[in-house]
Amino acid sequence: MLFSAAGFFAKITGELMVLFVGISFLVVFLQKLLPQELIGRTLSGSRRGLGNVLGAAFGALTPFCSCSTIPILVGLLNSGVPFGASMSFLIASPILNPAIIGLLLMLFGLEFTLVYFALAFASAVVTGALWERLGLARDVKRVRIVKENCCASETSDFSPGLQNAVQKAKEALLQATGLFLQVLPYLLVGALIGAFIYGWVPEELIVRLAGRSNALAVPIAAAIGVPMYIRAETMIPISSVLIKKGMSLGAVTALIIGGAGASIPEVLLLNAVFKRRLLIAFVVTVFLTATVTGYVVNLIV
């Protein structure tokens, strides 16, 4: 069992490291081509409905972490971007960022990843539109946040030319490397826990607690994921092993969305931006998204 677990750890760690660096470089490079100012102007000029779709799309493409998502959200709101489009950005950002999608694609396959993306994206679009219709915009506090450069930064340099593109690529590579070094401990912890489960946790136990036969496994996983502070980069390698051991795809999906969508640090940051009613709506929405998506995944995939 020791050699089997060690082999799994080495394999999954190597794959995740290469994938994360590649995805990080591409996304940071894209962020330099699509700076926050351009995003704000595009969303401000969009119609209701289309703004929600664009907000969710930008959320899926731009941030990597809550220290980037929340300041960008405040910047969008302060620059006049409609409330609904901003909320679609907020919901999509943590559960659809490119690192999560890339890891899901590698570990769980194309079909699962497409279903996950479609359901999570639709939830972000609908949530933003619904919250705006319910008048939750008045529950946003008037705040401004100074963003620190903890994740990939944006730039408003649009100067053309090959030399500028090469410079942006070099900067993107440096930022992607820095981001990878920040995330590396979480990847290693996830791979290590996954290797332990792979080698020593009985398959029968996981099937009994979180298999398809347990109808409550999905909402329980969502409820555990929402308050649990564990990064998706750590959770996804663990989830791949849990699935091999018999955990249902739906329960794993609920755990990933719950944990990534409403982590404790993100909720604490949002407490400075949202009043209580909107903050509760955010947490409940993440839980419902995790639960519904989990059940649909079990039915489709």
Tell whether the model's pLDDT for residue 99 goes beyond 60. yes
- pLDDT (0 to 100) of residue 149: 47
If you average pLDDT over residues 96-120, what whole number do you get? 86
- pLDDT (0 to 100) of residue 153: 43
Question: 37-94 pLDDT, tens per residue?
Answer: 666 667 776 677 888 999 999 888 876 665 667 878 888 888 888 999 999 999 998 8
Q: Other CB atoms closer than 10 Å to residue 214's CB: what's the count?
A: 15
The pTM of the full predicted model, rounded to 2 decimals, is 0.74
Supply φ then ψ for residue 286, to 5 degrees.
Answer: -60, -45
273 three-state secondary structure = coil
- pLDDT (0 to 100) of residue 144: 58
Tell whether the model's pLDDT for residue 274 goes beyond 80. yes
Question: 149-188 pLDDT, tens per residue?
Answer: 455 444 444 444 556 767 778 887 787 787 677 767 776 7
What is the total count of domains within the chain?
1
Domain extent at residue 163: 2-300
Tell whether the model's pLDDT for residue 13 goes beyond 90. no
Q: Which residue in 189, 200, 133, 146 sits closest to 16, CA to CA?
A: 189
Supply φ then ψ for residue 261, to 5 degrees.
Answer: -80, -30
Average pLDDT value for the chain = 78
